[in-house]
Amino acid sequence: MEGKATVVKNAGSHFMLSRLPEWAPFPAVLKGKVRLTGSDATNPVAVGDLVSYEYSETPSLTHPASIVEVLDRKNYLIRRSTNLSRQSHVIAANLDRAFIVVTLFFPEIKLPFLDRILLTCEVYGIPATIVLNKVDIFRSEFPEELSDFHRIYESAGYPVIETSALTGEGIDVLRSAVGGPDDGRICLFTGESGVGKSSIIKALDPSLDPKVGDISIAHLQGKHTTSLYEMYPLSSGGFIIDSPGLRGFGLVDLRKEEIALYFPEMLKASRDCRFTPCTHTHEPGCAVKEAVEDGRISRERYNSYLGMLEEDKKFRA
């Protein structure tokens, strides 16, 4: 017997599948060496993938289904592997939206890290929303930093939802953004370790039980708590993918002359550059540099862009 189903859990060499929108997960393993054409990803199968499977009897832990093919993806989020610089890792596939969870402090936000995720979402056609967690702390203690963050990212065109997993603030707004009971949307929740991602997921649906971790006091960085990529059905509708906390996000398959095309605010301004192509670094009559100087493009985002150009040089050396 054979069929098609979505990967809802990835535990390395073992998987769980479900025929979405029906939620009835069953176990599966890879049959032989499934590979994606033209891909050097360390994981050929990701949560969110639609796959073909086959089995000779009802799948069980002793007789799991066999994944025989990964079907074409509509999109996916990918990053360069941290330990194998020339290989990549697919975080999740076939996404309707990515929610990137961040905090201003505890752990302190790294804007270049966030910008790399946002840029990759732009490259692969994934709508992105920023979830700013722990605002119950920041609104009273760091009001200027909070205002600056909204200025930087809302002016670039990204929605910012303020939340507090502790007090419940913003959770209803976030739940509505994920989708309703008839949408069947698949949304990714990702971010650095310690930002409260798993706590937010549990706040969205208290019946769920993603692992919740604490902060490493020594480094004020989050400890890794989620080791698996896993999808959950929300009681309010739709499906969310929880991913392990990230500590790095390298760009994949992007030439340096393409990078500026995926900064929406830079792309808009670049239409008025005197020269084409323009690297927006040294050319006279550069409309992007002018927009940075007069505040229409944030200097923080522009500095992230310059950092990506340097990163491109490093990996191509």
Q: Tell whether 168 and 297 lie within a shared domain.
A: no
Q: Tell whether 161 and 38 lie within a shared domain.
A: no
For residue 56, the domain's CATH number is 2.40.50.140
The pLDDT tens digits of the residues spanning 80-113 come to 765 545 678 889 999 999 999 999 998 899 999 9
Q: 220 CB contacts (<8 Å, ≥6 apart)?
A: 106, 107, 108
Q: Is the pLDDT of residue 69 over 60?
A: yes
CA pair distance 68, 72, nearest whole angstrom: 13
Q: Tell whether 172 and 94 lie within a shared domain.
A: yes
Show the CA angle centred on residue 178, arms to residues 158 and 163, nearest 5°. 65
Q: Tell whether 31 and 96 lie within a shared domain.
A: no
Q: Tell whether 106 and 217 lie within a shared domain.
A: yes
**Does residue 251 belong to any structural domain of this protein?**
no
Q: Tell whether 58 and 84 lie within a shared domain.
A: no
For residue 195, the domain's CATH number is 3.40.50.300
For residue 266, the domain's CATH number is 1.10.40.50
Show the CA angle centred on residue 31, arms to residues 27 and 37, nearest 5°. 115
Q: Tell whether 159 and 212 lie within a shared domain.
A: yes
Does the pTM surpass 0.85? The reply is yes
The pLDDT tens digits of the residues spanning 203-238 come to 999 998 765 433 333 333 333 334 578 999 999 999
Q: Tell whether 131 and 150 lie within a shared domain.
A: yes
Structural domain containing residue 32? 2-70
pLDDT: which is higher, 50 or 37: 50
Q: Tell whether 191 and 271 lie within a shared domain.
A: no
**Does residue 247 belong to any structural domain of this protein?**
no
Instruction: State how many domains the chain has.
Output: 3
Q: Tell whether 231 and 103 lie within a shared domain.
A: yes
